[in-house]
Amino acid sequence: MAEQQTIRTGAGVRSGTIDEGLRAHMNKVYGLMASGMVITALAAWAISGLAVDDAGNATQLGQAIYGSPLKWLIMFAPLIMVFAFSAMINRISAAGAQLFFYTFAALMGLSLSSIFLVYTGFSIVQTFLVTAIAFAGLSLWGYTTKKDISGWGSFLIMGVIGLVVASIVNIFLASPAVMFAISAIGVLLFAALTAYDTQQIKNEYIQHARTADREWLEKSGIMGALRLYLDFINLFMFLLSFMGQRE
């Protein structure tokens, strides 16, 4: 009996340690994600201010960013960095991964800076608040639900690939109907991804917490922050296409 009690007590302690560690891990994920959002917002706002002069005309910087072939590099650079980050994550340190994430967030701000020139400030703030509320609810559901939604993964990845291809094609087609369909599907897709990624981040921590691999857990938290950051940004941009009021 004493031996069984000791086993139960030991299991309870380990479970309590994992629960405490999981809360700390998720707090770090959300904290890093929020820091990245702040960097992106500040970079986008600052660059949009430098791109246009007081008379409303594009400066040399604005012409280079929005009116030259450089715009294509700026548009696709964040996507290239995501693939590079995924390939490098096992070879770089946790500090290097965090620096990479912050650099990516700043580059994303450059890529998104045009929204301050296209949409009114009020509609941007309004859409951001709506996105934040929706994201919080979806992420909370993904964290607390007992339902296993890991089976969504393949479908969602295929959906993202299809969405990227359709978006690239529509750059040349410039079809409002296709853009509306892409935005509607994008909202649903990244809403589902928010819940899915939150549950995956939680499950990955629980699976690896017992190994006490602190370096892996540090980098896993940064990678999780990137995943949720991308979910938020994409959800925001697709909602902005519906809710945004143009200048």
Instruction: Give residue 234's pLDDT.
Output: 94
**Distances 136 to 43, 97, 240 between C-alpha atoms, Å:** 24, 25, 18
Closest CA to 216 of 72, 97, 115, 114: 97
- Is residue 194 within 8 A of residue 138, CB to CB? The reply is yes
Residue type, 133: I
Residue 194 to residue 200: CA distance in whole angstroms: 10
The pTM for the full model equals: 0.87
Instruction: Give residue 14's pLDDT.
Output: 52
Instruction: Give residue 69's pLDDT.
Output: 82
Instruction: Give residue 70's pLDDT.
Output: 82
Residue type, 30: Y
Residue type, 115: I
Instruction: Give residue 2's pLDDT.
Output: 45
Instruction: Give residue 16's pLDDT.
Output: 57
pLDDT under 70: residue ranges of the chain: 1-18, 55-56, 211-213
- Is residue 210 within 8 A of residue 226, CB to CB? The reply is no
Instruction: Give residue 10's pLDDT.
Output: 44
